[in-house]
Amino acid sequence: MAGWKSEALFKKSKEIMPGGVNSPVRAFRAVNQNPVFIERAKGSKIYDVDGSEYTDYVCSWGPGILGHADSRVIEAVKKACNNGLTFGAPTEKEYVLASIIQELVPSMEMLRLVNSGTEAVMSAIRAARGFTGRDKIIKFRGCYHGHSDGLLVKAGSGALTQSVPDSLGVPEGCTESTLVAEYNDILSVKSLFKKYGSGIAAVIVEPVAANMGVVPPVPGFLEGLREITKQYKSILIFDEVITGFRLAKGGAQEYFGIVPDITVLGKIAGGGMPLAVYGGRRDIMEMVAPLGGVYQAGTLSGNPVAVTAGIETLKILKDDNDIYNKIEENTTKIRLAAEKAFGSSVCVSQAGSLMSVFFTEEKVTDYVTAVSSDTEKYAMYFDYMLKNRIYIAPSQFEAMFISAAHTDEDIERTCYIIKQAAELLKSYMGMC
């Protein structure tokens, strides 16, 4: 629960920022609370302005795979700052980072650095459209690809219809070329291709859906997307903003053994600094200016401070052969603890070091089953965890992130608090 300093800051912030925050989920509205304001972080811990310490499983929504303020990354960034923050001109470090990414994700034969996942996705879709000469794209209900106009959509009366805007301020014309299918339902994709196939430029997907909670792909789903896009000569785009460098050194495409045409990276790629990447087949990326007619530019793209953080983070991940096993094992411990504590009253999903506790008895495989969750129960669960200094996502439909900085003690205590939370919820529901 927020302390008095957090409450005071939130009150002042609401006067000058919409909702008092710079990204909606931070407002804690989904759990009917006011947010805690963070002052500093180190390792697996964050500290709020009231002096409270929390074990952090948000990890800045994914970038913190090494934990907070890793000394190796921080020292490198400090040195980079001493040389200047941004030049608006090429640097050697941009090439170094691009080379490391290409080594870890070989499908990215050519790539471009940008500033955010939203920008990277927008640019990847533009490249796919420019290459194919087609306009339509397919996205999946419940998958989030940033807040660009063409992707802020939901399904209309059915999954096989063109979509209408899911936000005020987005003209219908911006989404008329966006088709919406059901995640993990390859038949919904085939139906769209049967109707619109010659006009579909690309299919964009989170290989593990992580913005409706964590929903892994069912066997054959990603393989089916790869097959049908090849059949229709459409572009398969993996949005690996979350899964990139988290599920494996080569991301979800290494983890599942599926090679997309274009990949979008973010979060871990910038080591916690504002940086994202899009890239893929050379013939597609050669369409991007100045080589081709697909225009994309950015003053701060590839700025040396963010690039430095990315280089140091990826070097550590590249050279450490144990990190992925460790964080997946720790995630499994938490998953098993939650399953044992709550029993059949929840569905716990895991993919590598990503996890979600869904408060539903249904097996969660798509958007419909995800939103069957009891958000009031999740809010109670969140409240208990926060009071016991465990910081998890303030929304049922976000992921839990485990980092290399989480200690055995962190994991054991977290499992214990989950058990206590389950007992409290069972007791409360028994009284209702």
Q: Residue 22 in 3-state DSSP?
A: coil
Residue type, 75: E
Euclidean distance between CA atoms 120 and 97, whole angstroms: 16
The strand pairing partners of 205, in sequence order, are 238
Closest CA to 238 of 267, 294, 278: 278
Catalytic hit among 136, 249, 267, 377: 267
42 is catalytic: no
CB 252 within 8 A of CB 78: no
144 is catalytic: yes
| SS (HEC) of 266-332 | CHHHHCCCCCEEEEECHHHHCCECCCCCECCCCCCCCCHHHHHHHHHHHHHHHHCCCHHHHHHHHHH
Catalytic hit among 54, 57, 144, 381: 144
DSSP per residue, 396-432: TTS-EE--TT--HHHHHHHHHHHHHHHHHHHHHHHH-
Helices (H), 65-185: 71-82, 92-104, 117-132
Q: Which two tokens stand for residue 428?
A: 């409360």
Cα→Cα distances 32→1, 25, 142, 352, 418, Å: 11, 12, 22, 30, 20
Other CB atoms within 10 A of residue 304 CB: 20
Q: Beta 347-351 vs 390-391: how paired, if at all?
A: unpaired
Q: Beta 153-154 vs 400-401: how paired, if at all?
A: unpaired
The strand pairing partners of 164, in sequence order, are 154
Q: Which two tokens stand for residue 55?
A: 């074990």
Residue 189: in which H helix or E strand, if any? helix 186-196
CB 247 within 8 A of CB 208: yes
DSSP per residue, 373-390: S-HHHHHHHHHHHHHTTE
Catalytic hit among 48, 56, 185, 239: 239
Positions annotated as catalytic residues are 144, 239, 267
